[in-house]
Amino acid sequence: MKKNTDSNAGVKEIARRAKVSTATVDRVIHNRTGVSEKTKDRINKIIQELNYQPNVLAQRLALASRGTLRLAVLLPAISEETEYWKAPLEGVNKAESEIKQYRVQIERYFFDQNIKASFEEQAQRIMKAEPDGILVSPTFEEESKVLLAYCSERNIPCVLINSDISGYDRLSYIGPELFHSGYLSAQLVHYCVTKGQKVIIANIAREIDNNFAILRKEEGFRAYFKENLSEKLVLPFNSTDTDYKTVAAKLSKLLKTEEKLGAIYVTNSRVSLVAKWLEAVDRKDVLLIGYDFLDENVNYLEKGFIDFLICEKPQEQGYRGIMTLFQTLVYSAPAEENYLMPIDIITRANYKFYRN
């Protein structure tokens, strides 16, 4: 049978026969979520009957006639407190340098990860700008769902990095499996502490209840203890004040009531605050695990006050996120629905060889 090389006409014909919208057909063609298995099977059957193939050349010519391909990036702003986000931004910049010759323009938007309204404001700016694709770190779940709904309605591909939101239509998630990241951390603790020692889960962030990544890691950590030890050994420590003086005072108060403290698990990159406190009270006997290959964290790793850093390739997340959008929009390349980063365990013995 003759191939259908008219991309637009082909999609419209498939949609007519399947009795669905062209946006739904496009989701199936590009392997995006948001379509039921029954509908997907019906559409794929019609695609096979028509021997339809997307006309990549026509898509590229349409892109060229339209002008610049505009991608929006929404990440936390970089500061002394949020140095982690320098790495994903470097990945975005690296990708941009490789594809800018194809008239790709990346518009960067930054929010304060401690202020939910800041994320919402920047998301609104992006929606008004109507980009061709969006890369976002969905730090605040409910506000991110609004952005994902916008993308779904307008058939704009959206890639999530660092943390995922299940049940919503997005092109791809690139990042760690957060539950297993917490689960693995608990397993490390189990190997190192003695029987009956208590463990602190430390959530140090101005927004905790709305921070999906922190809560999911804690869930994984607690699941391991429930399955293998006892949840009674796990002590909660939440601080929405992120300055050292406050964190140190709260930890010192907790230490007075808990003599059998064996380990502290910090659910984000602020592990250096706890390491600084352990150094001040001279407690190298307490195992400390936290996140991210930041200069201050590495400094305390070298000193021996941090035992393990969990790292998840943040630079690669930013790079792959942009390249996934580019390859999907320009070449109609299928995107992996979930591209999970390795969960790397960094110690004093191997940190000199690690790259984000």
Q: Decide which of 47 and 298 is more confident.
A: 298
Q: Would you say residue 54 has pLDDT above 80? A: no
Query: Distance of CA 72 to CAs 65, 119, 171, 180, Å?
Result: 20, 14, 14, 30
Q: Kindly report the CATH number assigned to the domain that includes residue 231.
A: 3.40.50.2300
Residues 303 and 334 in one domain: no
Give the total number of structural domains in the chain: 3
Q: Decide which of 28 and 291 is more confident.
A: 291
Residues 35 and 76 in one domain: no
Asked, for residue 128, whether it belongs to a domain, the answer is yes
Of 9, 102, 17, 104, the closest CA to residue 55 belongs to: 9
Q: Would you say residue 63 has pLDDT above 70? A: no
Q: Would you say residue 66 has pLDDT above 60? A: no
Q: Decide which of 3 and 290 is more confident.
A: 290
Residues 171 and 188 in one domain: no
pLDDT of 3: 41
To the nearest whole number, what is the mean pLDDT of the chain? 89
Percentage of the chain lying above the pLDDT 70 cut: 91
Q: Which of 21-35, 53-67, 130-144 has the highest mean pLDDT?
A: 130-144
pLDDT of 246: 96
Per-residue pLDDT reduced to its tens digit, 2-50: 344 444 557 788 888 999 887 788 778 766 667 888 898 898 888 888 8
Asked, for residue 351, whether it belongs to a domain, the answer is no
Q: Which tokens is 339 given?
A: 């591209």
pLDDT of 219: 97
Per-residue pLDDT reduced to its tens digit, 201-252: 999 998 888 788 899 999 999 999 999 999 999 999 999 999 999 999 999 9
Residues 286 and 201 in one domain: yes
Residues 171 and 279 in one domain: no
Q: Would you say residue 140 has pLDDT above 80? A: yes
Model pTM?
0.78
Asked, for residue 2, whether it belongs to a domain, the answer is no
DSSP secondary structure string, 61-99? Answer: HHHHHH--EEEEEEEEPP-STTGGGHHHHHHHHHHHHHH
Task: Point out the domain boundary residue: 16, 33, 54.
Answer: 54
Residues 98 and 246 in one domain: no
Q: Kindly report the CATH number assigned to the domain that includes residue 21.
A: 1.10.260.40
Q: Which tokens is 104 given?
A: 């790709």
Per-residue pLDDT reduced to its tens digit, 157-213: 999 999 998 888 899 999 999 999 999 999 999 999 999 999 999 999 988 887 888
Nearby residues of 327 by Cβ (< 8 Å), 6 or more positions away: 333, 335
pLDDT of 2: 39
Residues 220 and 200 in one domain: yes
Q: Would you say residue 1 has pLDDT above 70? A: no
Residues 139 and 80 in one domain: yes
pLDDT of 101: 85
Q: Decide which of 62 and 102 is more confident.
A: 102
Residues 306 and 183 in one domain: yes
Q: Would you say residue 59 has pLDDT above 70? A: no
Q: How confident is the model at residue 102 (pLDDT cuts 50, 70, 90)?
A: confident
Asked, for residue 139, whether it belongs to a domain, the answer is yes
Any idea which residue has 């397993």 for tokens? Answer: 187
Percentage of the chain lying above the pLDDT 90 cut: 66
Per-residue pLDDT reduced to its tens digit, 244-289: 999 999 999 998 888 789 999 999 999 999 999 999 999 999 999 9
Q: Residue type for 184, please?
A: L
The neighbouring-strand residues paired with 346 are 309
Residues 234 and 289 in one domain: yes
Mean pLDDT of 314-329: 95
Mean pLDDT of 305-322: 96
Asked, for residue 60, whether it belongs to a domain, the answer is no
pLDDT of 258: 83
Residues 89 and 149 in one domain: yes
Asked, for residue 41, whether it belongs to a domain, the answer is yes
CB crowding 35-70: b at 16 or more within 10 Å, else e: beeebeebbeebbeebebebbeeebeeebeeeeebb
pLDDT of 78: 87
117, with CB counted inside 10 A (0-12, 13-18, 19+), is exposed
H/E stretch holding 107 reads: strand 104-111
Asked, for residue 241, whether it belongs to a domain, the answer is yes
Per-residue pLDDT reduced to its tens digit, 322-338: 999 999 888 878 889 99
Mean pLDDT of 42-63: 70
Residues 111 and 207 in one domain: no
Q: How confident is the model at residue 58 (pLDDT cuts 50, 70, 90)?
A: low
pLDDT of 31: 67
Asked, for residue 117, whether it belongs to a domain, the answer is yes
Q: Decide which of 56 and 33 is more confident.
A: 33
Domain of 279, in residue numbers: 178-311
